[in-house]
């Protein structure tokens, strides 16, 4: 496997690699197998979380409510930082990359770290497993039950929110296969799905509709899990998921034949994700020139990749969230139930400038012009929010990078997969030189 192919694979299946990794002789199949060989014990994130009682502030005094809200916010910041630094330090980058994908597929807007961390661990546990099992686990999670109003979905007054998004955003795609009547019937199948005071899934029989339902032309006394099985029987589900994964791993410009090939693999393997990914990473077209350096890195991919390759991490959670907000992607805080659209939506004239300033700000402590609010906000007083921001990432250790990249040529090959223009002049100082690399438009792509 040549170095350029290795860099392409590791950028897409992880968060980049070192020059040394590109020069280690390994076959394509061996490298693909390595992606699935994570630590012996799955690393789940752990943090000190507030007690469950903190979710109910109805009996708290005003002062206690304010203290509780501040505590929840601080712990949410910590959970954000915990996952972010785990992506930087992980020995299992493909699992973390898929966890990132599932987070933006099964979207939940978390109001408390009590739900955010368990949900993130749920996605991580199933990230490379079976899509059907993952979908059922997500449907039973307190996060999803609360977010899409399954708690309000009862026999006498079905709530269709989860049923609609299950079909439209999670499995079949919009207006594909299902009808409005199917949505009503699917909602009935999920009545009675709740969680208890300890945030564990609980089925409440007296609130469930045990009547006969007609879904996709089939009649039966279907429950929620049986409905998910019915959805998975539809080949359109494999096609919808393959199209979305293709955009994430390959190219925003979808090849219908390649997507169909992947969908057939997914369906034939009963929605097991590993065979799907192995097929993808083994395909010659995955490494074709038209699929290289075509994806705009998400803010998370950009920041995590820089940190993994160059040797720093983010100790200040509040500073990290501020940086995420400036770039347009705050973990655990999606814009809506559809998640971040990605692709060219990551870039506009303002954010492109911010991205190209980023290396100098992080590596050299330079200031960058940013906004307290979203740079895309068109409010008339937006300019008043502009200020100079200095980002302090804390620990930076370039020793590993320096030891494995012994020349600017090697640095460029690892970061870009190619040598940059011979006309460009780079600093002799390593930090400044790396900052220069990150200011190239090519660094925004993978």
Residue 390's pLDDT is: 61
Alpha-carbon dihedral sign for residues 183, 188, 191, 193: negative
Q: Which two tokens stand for residue 315?
A: 């100790």
Residue 389's pLDDT is: 61
The pLDDT of residue 270 is above 50: yes
In this prediction, residues 309-318 reach a mean pLDDT of 85
d(CA 374, CA 351): 10
d(CA 379, CA 375): 10
Residue 157 has phi, psi (to 5 degrees) of -150, 75
d(CA 440, CA 414): 14
Helices (H), 214-272: 224-233, 235-249, 256-268
Q: In 186-295, which ranges are E strands?
A: 193-195, 201-203, 213-215, 218-220
The pLDDT of residue 378 is above 50: no
Mean pLDDT of the chain: 90
Nearest to 319 by CA among 369, 373, 394, 387: 394
Nearest to 236 by CA among 172, 165, 163, 175: 172
Q: Concatenate the DSSP letters of all residues of 332-343 into one string.
A: T--SSTT----G
Write out pLDDT tens, residues 284-302.
999 999 999 999 999 999 9
Would you tell me the crossing angle of helices 408-416 and 430-438 to the nearest 10 degrees? Answer: 30
Q: Are 430 and 20 in contact, with CB atoms under 8 Å apart?
A: no
Alpha-carbon dihedral sign for residues 246, 249, 254, 256: negative
- The answer to which of 179-183, 302-306, 420-424 has the lowest mean pLDDT is 420-424
Residue 8 has phi, psi (to 5 degrees) of -60, -45
Task: Say which residue the tokens 């008339």 belong to.
Answer: 380
The pLDDT of residue 316 is above 70: yes
d(CA 308, CA 88): 5
d(CA 344, CA 334): 17
- The answer to which of 22-31, 124-133, 161-170, 414-423 has the lowest mean pLDDT is 414-423
Nearest to 322 by CA among 116, 80, 48: 80
Instruction: For residue 27, count CB atoms less than 10 angstroms from its CB and return exposed for 0-12, middle for 13-18, buried for 19 or more.
Output: exposed
Q: Which two tokens stand for residue 48?
A: 């000190």
The pLDDT of residue 377 is above 50: no
In this prediction, residues 335-363 reach a mean pLDDT of 91
Q: What is the pTM of this model?
A: 0.94
Q: How many CA atoms lie within 13 A of 311 on its CB side?
A: 14
Q: Which two tokens stand for residue 436?
A: 């220069």
Q: Concatenate the DSSP letters of all residues of 152-201 into one string.
A: G-BTTB---HHHHHIIIIIIS-TTSS--HHHHHHHHHHTTTEEE-TTS-E
What is the three-class DSSP state of 370?
Answer: strand
In this prediction, residues 216-236 reach a mean pLDDT of 98
Residue 374's pLDDT is: 42
Task: Say which residue the tokens 């030891």 belong to.
Answer: 403
The pLDDT of residue 414 is above 80: yes
In this prediction, residues 390-412 reach a mean pLDDT of 82
Distance of CA 406 to the CA centre of its chain: 33
What percent of the chain is modeled with pLDDT above 90? 69
Write out pLDDT tens, residues 384-395.
455 556 666 567
Find residue 368's DSSP bridge partners.
389
């Amino acid at each position: 496997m040549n170095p350029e192919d290795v860099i392409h694979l590791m950028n897409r299946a992880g968060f980049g690699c070192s020059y040394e990794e590109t020069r280690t002789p390994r076959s394509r199949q061996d490298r693909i197998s390595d992606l699935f060989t994570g630590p012996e014990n799955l690393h789940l994130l752990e943090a000190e979380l507030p007690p469950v009682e903190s979710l109910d502030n109805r009996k708290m005094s005003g002062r206690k409510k304010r203290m509780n809200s501040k505590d929840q916010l601080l712990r949410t910041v910590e959970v954000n930082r915990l996952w972010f630094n785990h992506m930087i330090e992980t020995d299992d980058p493909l699992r973390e990359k898929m966890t990132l994908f599932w987070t933006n597929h099964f979207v939940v807007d978390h109001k408390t770290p009590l739900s955010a961390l368990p949900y993130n661990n749920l996605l991580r546990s199933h990230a490379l497993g079976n899509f059907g099992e993952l979908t059922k686990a997500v449907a039973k999670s307190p996060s999803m039950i609360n977010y899409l109003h399954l708690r309000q979905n009862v026999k006498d007054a079905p709530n269709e929110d989860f049923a609609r998004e299950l079909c439209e955003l999670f499995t079949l795609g919009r207006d594909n296969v299902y009808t409005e009547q199917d949505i009503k019937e699917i909602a009935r199948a999920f009545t009675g799905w709740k969680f208890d005071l300890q945030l564990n899934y609980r089925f409440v029989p007296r609130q469930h509709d045990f009547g006969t339902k007609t879904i996709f032309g089939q009649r039966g006394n279907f429950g929620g899990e049986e409905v998910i099985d019915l959805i998975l029987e539809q080949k359109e589900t494999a096609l919808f998921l393959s199209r979305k994964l293709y955009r994430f791993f390959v190219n925003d410009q979808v090849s219908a034949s390649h997507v169909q090939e992947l969908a057939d693999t997914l369906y034939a393997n009963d929605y097991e994700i590993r065979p799907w990914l192995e097929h993808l990473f083994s395909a010659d077209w995955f490494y074709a020139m038209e699929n290289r350096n075509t994806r705009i890195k998400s803010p998370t991919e950009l920041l995590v990749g820089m940190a993994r390759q160059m040797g720093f991490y983010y100790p200040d959670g509040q500073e990290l969230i501020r940086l995420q907000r400036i770039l347009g992607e705050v973990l655990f805080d999606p814009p809506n139930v559809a998640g971040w659209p990605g692709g060219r939506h990551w870039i506009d004239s303002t954010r492109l400038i911010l991205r190209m300033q980023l290396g100098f700000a992080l590596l050299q402590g330079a200031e960058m012009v940013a906004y307290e609010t979203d740079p895309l906000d068109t409010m008339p007083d937006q300019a008043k929010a502009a200020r100079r921001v200095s980002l302090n990432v804390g620990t930076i250790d370039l020793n590993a990078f320096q030891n494995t990249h012994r020349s600017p040529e090697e640095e460029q090959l690892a970061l870009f997969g190619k040598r940059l223009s011979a006309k460009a002049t780079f600093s002799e100082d390593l930090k400044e030189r790396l900052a220069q690399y990150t200011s190239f438009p090519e660094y925004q792509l993978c």
